[in-house]
Amino acid sequence: MILAFFALSGLTVASALLVFVARNLLHALAFLVLSFLGMAGLFLTLSADFIGVAQVLIYAGSISVLMVFAVMLTPLASRNNGSTLYVIPAMLAAGGLASLIGFVAIDTEWDERKGEALGVSDFTTTVAGIGDLLLGRYLLAFEVASVLLLFALLGAIVLVQERRRAGEEA
């Protein structure tokens, strides 16, 4: 458990850093996929089996493929993964943010489950419970999310379709 946590967190943080330092945009994208996979493993150590699999499918699968499409559909644009002049203020702000989060995380007395909380013996699958909640208490939010996905689909199609002028041959 300890070994899994530290190996997966090392993988996630190292590939997230490589997303920042990679020179080529496509290499950065590959490291981003690696970081998503490490994050999926961390979700599994939190016994979130459904979310871990959904992470692999949605993030590492479809969102990264969408990003590859966006890079490939802009062939004349620069493949350079360069930074703007804001990199120093951004690093300062993010460093302050990370130290604030770390300080609060360590300093607070969390009312957390201790001891054998992470034993595997009492693990049951979360899929049935998530399904019950989605189609029960959160049914309205579920429907709104499906409408949101439909409109995002329509919006993406309408935005990128080629508009032909009236006199032009199809």
Residues in 131-150 that interact with another protein by CB under 8 A: 133-134, 138, 141, 145, 148-149
In the numeric block, the tokens 């959904």 are attached to 54
Residue 160's Cα: distance from chain center in Å? 24
In the numeric block, the tokens 């692999």 are attached to 56
| 7: contact with another protein by CB under 8 A | no
Handedness of CA 113, 119, 121, 124 (dihedral sign): positive
71, burial (CB in 10 Å: exposed 0-12, middle 13-18, buried 19+): middle
- The residue from 11, 30, 53, 71 that contacts another protein (CB under 8 A) is 71
Q: Applying CB under 8 A, what is the total number of residues that bind another protein?
A: 87
| 19: contact with another protein by CB under 8 A | yes
Binding mask 99-138 for another protein (x = CB under 8 A): --xx-xxx---xxxxx--xx---x-x-x--xx--xx---x
Identity of the residue, 94 or 170, whose beta carbon is nearer to another protein in the bound complex: 94
